């Protein structure tokens, strides 16, 4: 056992139980993870959109108080509890993407997010809202995987809640897959304990040139962690593999590489696949 600040990090694998453990076959049989917006919800959201426009406040300065969603807000809090304490994801359908402007949709998205958490930047430019589209023709320098048209492997982002708003359905492809990290952990515990132990070890992640002052171009992670009695998964597979381009990073061992591959295989086996048409928060 090692300690980091006031947190205890335990690395002895154990089997996890509870609603956070699920597979795709189970999710297919359920519908309680989908929330449909009602006419009343949309009217409430639209009123908040108009109010925030009149306030002239920058979108980044808008808070939950600027979006008095009332009954809809209470449902969002229930979704947040399900994300953080339950199955770990939820789907909201019904925003009129073909009727509202992109600015209106952005404000609606920001307001929904304000009920689920606090916005944080995930790039060096400090962007709080970003586009998951192929941007290689307009970007120079190093490009993150989500800024291309390449399929992404299973991964997790460096935050508690990730929100995606689909403005346009893909003409082809566009399948999104989600998987329970706890179910992946249990699968490896049963079928490949050696790989599971490797995933509790330290890997290095690439910063893709977005290096804070005084930091290295890479940083350490453990894919699986037990912190204060909770399972924490840092499934940074693309960043770990990309870090291999850095001269100071030693090559992955055969066991480390195999563990990452096994993680992906288990995730594919246990995943639920869907076409992302409107919003998903996880």
Mean pLDDT in residue range 216-241: 94
pLDDT band at 124 (very low <50, low <70, confident <90, very high): low
pLDDT on residue 226: 94
What domain range is 209 assigned to? 2-281
pLDDT single digits (tens) 175-192: 889 999 999 999 999 999
- C-alpha 37/C-alpha 41 separation (Å) is 6
**What is the DSSP annotation of the chain?**
-EEETTEEEE-------STT---HHHHHT--TTEEEPPHHHHHHHHHHHHHHHHHT--GGG--GGG---THHHHHHHHHHHHHHHSSS-EEEE---TTTS-HHHHHHHHHHHHHHH------STT--SS---S--TTT--S---GGGSSSPPPS---SSS--EEE-SS--SS--EEEE--HHHHHHHHHHH-HHHHHHHTSEEEEE-TT---TT--SEEEEESEEEETTEEEE---HHHHHHGGGSTTSPPPPHHHHHHHHHHHHHHHHH-EEEE--SEEE-
pLDDT single digits (tens) 156-171: 887 889 888 888 777 7
The CATH number covering residue 241 comes to 3.60.130.10
pLDDT on residue 145: 53
227 has pLDDT over 80:
yes
140 has pLDDT over 60:
no
> What is the number of structural domains in the chain?
1
């Amino acid at each position: 056992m090692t300690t980091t600040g006031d947190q205890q990090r335990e690395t002895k694998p154990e089997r996890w139980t509870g609603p956070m453990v699920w597979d795709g076959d189970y999710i297919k049989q359920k519908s309680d993870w989908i929330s449909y917006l009602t006419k009343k919800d949309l009217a409430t959201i639209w009123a908040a959109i108009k109010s925030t426009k009149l306030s002239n406040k920058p979108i980044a300065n808008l808070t939950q108080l600027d979006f008095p969603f009332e009954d809809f807000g209470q449902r969002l809090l229930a979704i947040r509890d399900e994300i953080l304490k339950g199955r770990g994801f939820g789907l909201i359908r019904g925003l009129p993407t073909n009727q509202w402007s992109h600015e209106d949709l952005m404000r609606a998205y920001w307001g929904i997010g304000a009920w689920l958490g606090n916005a944080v930047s995930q790039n060096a430019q400090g962007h709080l809202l970003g586009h998951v589209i192929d941007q290689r023709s307009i970007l120079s320098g190093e490009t993150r995987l989500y800024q291309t048209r390449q399929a992404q492997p299973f991964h997790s982002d460096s935050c508690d809640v990730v929100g995606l708003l689909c403005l346009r359905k893909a003409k082809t492809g566009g399948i999104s897959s989600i998987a329970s990290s706890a179910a992946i952990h249990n699968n490896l515990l049963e079928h490949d304990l050696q790989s599971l132990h490797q995933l509790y070890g330290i890997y290095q992640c690439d910063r893709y040139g977005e290096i804070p002052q005084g930091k290295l171009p890479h940083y350490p992670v453990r894919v699986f962690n037990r912190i204060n009695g909770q399972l924490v998964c840092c499934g940074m597979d693309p960043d770990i593999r990309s870090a291999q381009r850095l001269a100071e990073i030693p090559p992955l061992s055969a066991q480390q590489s195999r563990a990452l591959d096994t993680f992906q295989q288990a995730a594919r086996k246990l995943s639920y696949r869907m076409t992302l048409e409107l919003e998903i928060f996880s």
